């Protein structure tokens, strides 16, 4: 099989085909940093982490962009309420997001453009839309996008635009899902904007960007720099962003470039609590830091999320989290058994365990190639644990092969218990340093060999050169 993904634009699961393989450009809508991101937000960020990791596992060279929305209606209102300048208010929440990202083991994006640092790109985009006649200045001094002049409007969200009120405008960033109107690209500066430092000069009037404009400008600027293109391979986000946010992004981007904005649109479903979407509005939200302070292993959160397909709503419960934690422990214990067999020299060969690992890898890839079917991939993983433990009980060979295959799968799912994961990472680093030292010694570069020995010692690794090779131990 080859990777196939559900494209919201076509409502079909389609073979994934990037514009210039192996390069893949991936844009994911990041947090609005007016407050802490809640676990519902992180369900989306984790699905995107799975997507990126599996693309890389499959041999693609991913360039991942995630924006930080640090100016919009909510950030301005929150900063004004706190009596702070915009940057003062958002900075701690940006830092908190990065800390939460690291706790949940989400791979950092290659670029984190901030809206407030990308104003020049936004001004250029508005100018282009004005020149092309698809934007206009409203009587309130703001610049609006004329959706009647973009015939494809509504195709992502399947919105019926026959009842469109030409010239009816909406200045708010978020608005009714069934109310298509001309939306604000650039909002005329109001006293509240000036108060918090959220206003910039532009040829068409002092003001600030609309939320939808920000993502188009930042993504187009980043992929032009990195890849010289105006089309993303994948644009991903939560299902709540399909309309108006992503619909408006398509309209303004394609009206400006006359090229498709994104080839594949992926959207993750909600995280629910007792059947209701997790939301600050409903007061039923948890943050990643809540779980971290409770001592919850991030691996359990990840495994819990992988047990439901990203396009299905997931109900978050303490019982489900406890069950995921038990699964993580089983996985850690199985890996420890494989490692023990290998280190005792009993894990070599192509026996029963190697066969089980090969079957698992085939099933794992088939599951994730099928629109990132993580529940099926996890089922294959725990089948390997079950059958692998039985094989270890009778001394079957092949543990080394099984360990290699398991660790490759963990590069995608990353659900080893935290202590085991750190142990695995340290072991990989030690082996890499020992190989580099061996190479230096063979080249008679003893200065470099001594430097690597000191580097190992600094991490508590003591080494001994013996006739059968270099031995090491942690001290």
Pairing of strands 232-238, 23-28: parallel
Residue 462's alpha-carbon distances to 197, 217, 470, in angstroms, are 55, 52, 10
Pairing of strands 232-238, 182-188: unpaired
Q: How far apart are CA 286 and CA 279, in angstroms?
A: 9
Report H helices in 116-261. 119-131, 191-196, 211-227, 247-257
Q: Is the pLDDT of residue 419 over 80?
A: no
Q: Are 196 and 85 in contact (CB under 8 A)?
A: yes
Q: How far apart are CA 301 and CA 320, in angstroms?
A: 10
What domains are there in the chain, each with its CATH number?
16-288 (3.40.50.620), 332-416 (1.20.120), 422-474 (no CATH)
**Who contacts 160 (Cβ-Cβ below 8 Å, separation ≥6)?**
154
User: What one-character DSSP code corresponds to residue 287?
Assistant: B
Identify which of 343, 362, 438, 447 has the alpha carbon closest to the alpha carbon of residue 400.
343
Model confidence band, residue 467 (pLDDT cutoffs 50, 70, 90): confident
Q: pLDDT value at position 440?
A: 92
Tell me how crowded residue 354 is: count the other CB atoms within 10 A of its CB: 22
- Ranking 76-80, 190-194, 351-355 by mean pLDDT, the lowest is 351-355
Q: Is the pLDDT of residue 159 over 90?
A: no
Q: How far apart are CA 394 and CA 325, in angstroms?
A: 27
Q: Are 262 and 27 in contact (CB under 8 A)?
A: yes
User: What one-character DSSP code corresponds to residue 350?
Assistant: S
Give the residues across from 14 on adjacent strands: 5
Q: pLDDT value at position 346?
A: 63
Q: Is the pLDDT of residue 282 over 60?
A: no
**Who contacts 180 (Cβ-Cβ below 8 Å, separation ≥6)?**
147, 153, 154, 159, 161, 164, 244
The radius of gyration computed from the CA coordinates of the chain, to the nearest angstrom, equals 26
- Could you report the per-residue pLDDT of 212-259, keeping only the tens digit for each? 999 999 999 999 999 999 999 999 999 999 999 999 999 999 999 999
- Could you report the per-residue pLDDT of 5-64, keeping only the tens digit for each? 999 999 999 999 999 999 999 999 999 999 999 999 999 999 999 999 999 999 999 999
Q: Is the pLDDT of residue 97 over 90?
A: yes
Model confidence band, residue 471 (pLDDT cutoffs 50, 70, 90): confident
Can you give the pTM of this predicted structure? 0.87
Ranges of beta strands (E only) in 131-270 are 135-137, 143-145, 169-170, 182-188, 207-209, 232-238, 262-268
């Amino acid at each position: 099989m080859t990777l196939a993904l559900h494209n919201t634009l076509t409502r079909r699961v389609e073979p994934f085909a990037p514009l210039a393989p192996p390069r893949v450009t991936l844009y994911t809508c990041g947090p609005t940093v007016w407050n802490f991101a809640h676990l519902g937000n992180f369900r989306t960020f984790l699905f995107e982490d799975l997507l990126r990791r599996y693309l890389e596992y499959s041999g693609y060279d991913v360039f991942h962009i995630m924006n930080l929305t640090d100016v919009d209606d909510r950030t301005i209102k929150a900063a004004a309420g706190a009596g702070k300048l915009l940057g003062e208010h958002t900075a701690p929440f940006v830092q908190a997001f990065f800390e939460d990202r690291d706790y949940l083991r989400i791979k950092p994006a290659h670029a984190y453009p901030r809206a407030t640092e990308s104003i020049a790109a936004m001004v250029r985009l508005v100018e282009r839309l004005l020149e092309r006649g698809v934007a206009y200045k409203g009587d309130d001094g703001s610049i609006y996008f004329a959706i009647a002049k973009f015939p494809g409007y509504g195709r992502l969200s399947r919105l019926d635009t026959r009842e469109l009120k030409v010239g009816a405008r909406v200045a708010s960033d978020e608005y009714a899902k069934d109310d298509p109107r001309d939306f604000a690209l650039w909002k005329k500066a109001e006293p509240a904007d000036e108060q918090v430092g959220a206003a910039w000069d532009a040829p068409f009037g002092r003001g600030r960007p609309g939320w939808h404009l920000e993502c188009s400008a930042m993504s187009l600027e980043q992929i032009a720099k990195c890849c010289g293109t105006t089309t993303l391979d994948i644009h991903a986000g939560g299902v709540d962003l399909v309309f108006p946010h992503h619909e408006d992004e398509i309209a303004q981007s394609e009206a400006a470039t006359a090229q498709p904005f994104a080839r594949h649109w992926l959207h993750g479903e909600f995280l629910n609590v007792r059947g209701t979407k997790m939301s600050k509005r409903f007061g039923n939200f948890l943050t990643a830091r809540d779980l971290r302070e409770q001592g919850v292993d991030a691996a359990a959160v990840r495994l819990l999320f992988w047990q439901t397909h990203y396009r299905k709503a997931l109900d978050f419960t303490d019982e489900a989290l406890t069950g995921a934690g038990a699964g993580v422990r089983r996985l850690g214990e199985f890996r420890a058994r494989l490692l023990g067999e290998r280190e005792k020299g009993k894990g070599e060969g192509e026996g029963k365990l190697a066969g089980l690992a090969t079957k698992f890898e085939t099933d794992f890839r088939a599951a994730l190639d099928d629109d990132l079917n993580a529940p099926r991939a996890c089922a294959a993983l725990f089948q390997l644990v079950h059958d692998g433990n039985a094989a270890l009980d009778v001394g079957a060979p092949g543990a080394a092969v099984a360990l290699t295959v398991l660790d490759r799968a963990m590069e995608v799912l990353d659900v080893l218990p935290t202590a085991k994961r750190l142990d695995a990472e340290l072991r990989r680093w030690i082996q890499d340093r020992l190989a580099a030292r061996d190479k230096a010694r063979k080249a008679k570069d003893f200065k470099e060999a001594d430097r690597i020995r000191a580097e190992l010692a600094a991490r508590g690794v003591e080494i001994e050169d013996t006739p059968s090779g270099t031995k090491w131990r942690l001290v």
